[in-house]
Amino acid sequence: MAPAPWRRTGNRTALRDRWIHLRAETWETPQGVTLDPWWMLDWADWVHVIALTTDDRLVLVRQFRPGAQTLTLELPGGMMETGESDPVQAAAREFTEETGWRAAEWRSVIGLPPEPAHCSNRIHFVLALGCAPAGAQALDAGEDIAVEALPVAHVLAGLGQGLIQNAMHVGGLVLGLAAAGRLALAERPAGG
C-alpha cells in the first residue's frame, strides 16, 4: 500500500531575494505528526547541457563552488531567466554564454526535481550534438569558468572516482549519453 500524502497547514516566507525564496512550511502527516518548520526553496528552473562534439568529446566547465570549497568539473548550464519557458532555448543560451561554443542540434532529455523534499523547481537536461567553438564566453559578473572538452570514455571512467562532483550532473549525464546512443542502460530483469 502506498503512503498517503501529507497536508500543508502553514506557509510563511523566511527570505526572498533575486535568486531564491526560502519558505518555512508546516506539514501534517497522515499519522498526525506536525513538521514545522519544513524548509522549502523556490528557485527558477535550471538547465544543464550534455554537449558532445563530432569527435566524441564532452564539453564541460570547471569553476569554483563555495559549497564544496573547490574547483569542480560540471555540465554547462544555469538558471532559466524570467520570461524563458523553453528549456532547450535556455540551455542553448547558457551553453553559449558559459563556453563560447554552439551546437548543430538540440534535444530535450528530461526535466526532474533536483531535490523533491525541499526544492520546488525542476532541472532540465538537454542534449547538444555537433558542438564546436564559436566565439568568446559571455560570463556574468562573478563567473570565472574554464572550458574543457574531454573524451567521453575518460569522463565515464572517472565518474566513479568523483571526476564530476555534482551528483545531479552525474545522473543527467548518464541519461543524456543514453539518449545520444553513447551509453546503454541495462534493463531490469523480470521480477527483479
pLDDT in tens, 98-130: 999 999 999 999 999 999 999 999 999 999 999
For 67-77, how does the pLDDT look when each residue is reduced to its tens digit (9 = 90+)? 999 999 999 99
User: Cα separation of 168 and 162, whole Å?
Assistant: 12
Task: Show me where the domains of the chain are located.
Answer: 7-42, 46-179
User: Cα separation of 138 and 184, whole Å?
Assistant: 35
For 33-48, how does the pLDDT look when each residue is reduced to its tens digit (9 = 90+)? 999 999 999 999 999 9
| pLDDT (0 to 100) of residue 140 | 86
- The residue-averaged pLDDT of 87-104 equals 97
Under a CB-based contact definition with an 8 Å cutoff, are residues 87 and 108 in contact? Answer: yes
Three-state secondary-structure class, residue 56: coil
For 140-166, how does the pLDDT look when each residue is reduced to its tens digit (9 = 90+)? 888 899 999 999 999 999 999 999 999
**What CATH code would you report for 46-179?**
3.90.79.10
CB atoms within 10 A of CB 92: 18
Q: Average pLDDT of the chain?
A: 94
The dihedrals phi and psi of 69, each to the nearest 5 degrees, come to: 55, 40
